[in-house]
Amino acid sequence: MAYVIHMDDEFISAFDALGVARLLRKVEAPDFGASVLDFVSQAGPIRNFGAYFWTSVQRKKAVFSICSGDIGSYWFHRDGTDFVANPDVFAELQAAVEASSERASTLSRFAPTETDPRFPRYVRAGMCEKLSIATRRGDHAILSFFLRSKADGMISQKEMRGFEALLPVAHEAISLRHRIVGSEAFQFRPGVSVSSLKERGLPRFSKLSPREAAACDSILAGLTVAGTALNMSVSENTVRTLRQRAFRKLGVSSAQQMTSFVLFEAQFGETAPE
């Protein structure tokens, strides 16, 4: 079952308090895995997550990139590697990344049946459901997944709405972690800002005014509208106007989408030719 990611007014107004800035500061830290679990568990208990990375979608080659939780590293890596080696399971993963978009995410929900090859692994680990999200840029892709413990019960409708808001951000942070830690050639630092992407001349970001970029930077810093207004010495209505204008130029409609887009472009975006 798939859910197109959306963001309603309730989550937009609460977004600044969701700990995005704290999560971004942990991208290179040893306790990054625990930070991701703390972040997504604001919507409901999630005790394990992992990710697959495709260096080439066309060649259908994926590696088990990162994992964290109470399952244990040995079993997590063994199961993740075995799933990639299973033709039927991998075909499902491959289809998900091939169908993924560069600018939007679809959240998929899965619970294995008794005939599914993953079912015994889920039972052994005490898991009952999986939420997964994939994004793609060119021939590269990453699919992250978040496992629900049987002890915590099936995911409720209210929790699902929360996961729709939080998981795209966690997914991009996981992707950023993979790029930083997994490649010595990737020199990006986690102190990402919209202003820095504007200075790099990335498409869309280069169209922002300095104040529009600063208003977006405040979202990444975890500032509320009131805090941003104080910091920029403008009214709260001006902050809202600056953010709305920036969102239109970036092609996003919410703070959550903007943050995911910024994290993605910081990793894969190319500077516009002069």
Rounded Cα–Cα distance for residues 152 and 154 (Å)? 7
- Confidence (pLDDT) at 170: 93
Q: Which helix (H) or strand (E) holds 3?
A: strand 2-4
Report the chain's mean pLDDT, rounded to a whole number.
Answer: 82
Judged against a pLDDT cut of 70, whether residue 9 lies above it is answered with no
Q: What is the percent of the chain where pLDDT is above 70?
A: 84
Judged against a pLDDT cut of 80, whether residue 17 lies above it is answered with no
Judged against a pLDDT cut of 70, whether residue 273 lies above it is answered with no
What is the pTM for the complete model shown?
0.66
Across the range 213-239, mean pLDDT stands at 86
Yes or no: say if 260 and 172 are a contact pair by the CB < 8 Å rule: yes
- Confidence (pLDDT) at 225: 86
pLDDT greater at residue 92 or residue 271: 92
Q: Which helix (H) or strand (E) holds 141?
A: strand 140-149
> What are the DSSP calls for 195-257, one per residue?
HHHHHTT-TTGGGS-HHHHHHHHHHHTT--HHHHHHHHTS-HHHHHHHHHHHHHHHT--SHHH
Written as one letter, the residue type at 77 is: H
Yes or no: say if 91 and 60 are a contact pair by the CB < 8 Å rule: no
Going along 59-117, which residue ranges are E strands? 61-69, 106-110
Residue with tokens 């090859």: 117
Look up residue 274 and give its DSSP letter. Answer: -
Q: What is the pLDDT of residues 247-259, one digit of tens each?
A: 999 999 888 888 8
| End-to-end CA, the chain | 44
Q: What is the pLDDT of residues 83-140, one digit of tens each?
A: 888 899 999 999 998 888 766 667 899 999 999 989 999 999 999 999 999 988 788 8
Across the range 22-47, mean pLDDT stands at 89
Rounded Cα–Cα distance for residues 169 and 256 (Å)? 7
Q: What is the pLDDT of residues 143-191, one digit of tens each?
A: 999 999 999 999 999 999 999 989 989 998 988 887 766 533 233 344 5
Q: Which of 141, 168, 167 is nearest to 262 (CA)?
A: 168
